[in-house]
Copies of this chain bind each other. A is one copy, B any other.
Amino acid sequence: MKLVKCIVQPYKLDDVKAAVTALNIHGMTVSEVRGFGRQKGHKEVYRGAEYTVDFVPKVEIEIVVADNVVKQVIDAVVKAARSGKVGDGKIFVTDVEDVIRIRTGESGEAAL
């Protein structure tokens, strides 16, 4: 199994979720993150003090899927999350050795 870790624009979360569930994948874990990359941040001024904020808000979506659907998932996410502007984000694919469903103790793909 693979962990498909997608870092996308926050306002794209719903679209990505829709695209992934459309593939009959009904599980993902999301967290709020801050990204640093090509996309430029902005300047903030508080009374005298000026700060440049290089970190921009992103959401990280972790989806663990069976090897055979990785490709489809990636394509679906790319399609849903793309706006064409710098900052659209990245997808990282890593290997997952095992998955356990806590409720049942099932493991492997059965646990997904």
Q: Which residues of A contact B (CB under 8 A)?
A: 2-3, 6-8, 17, 26-38, 54-55, 58, 60, 64, 74, 77-78, 81-103, 105, 111
Contacts and interface: CB of A to CB of B under 8 A. Distances in A.
A102 B77 contact: yes
A109 to B, nearest CB: 12
Contacts of A81: 102
Contacts of A35: 27-30
B97 A94 contact: yes
B36 A28 contact: yes
B97 A95 contact: yes
B55 A84 contact: no
A58 B36 contact: no
A92 B58 CA distance: 22
B37 A26 contact: yes
Given A37-B26, A85-B103, A95 B94 contact: yes
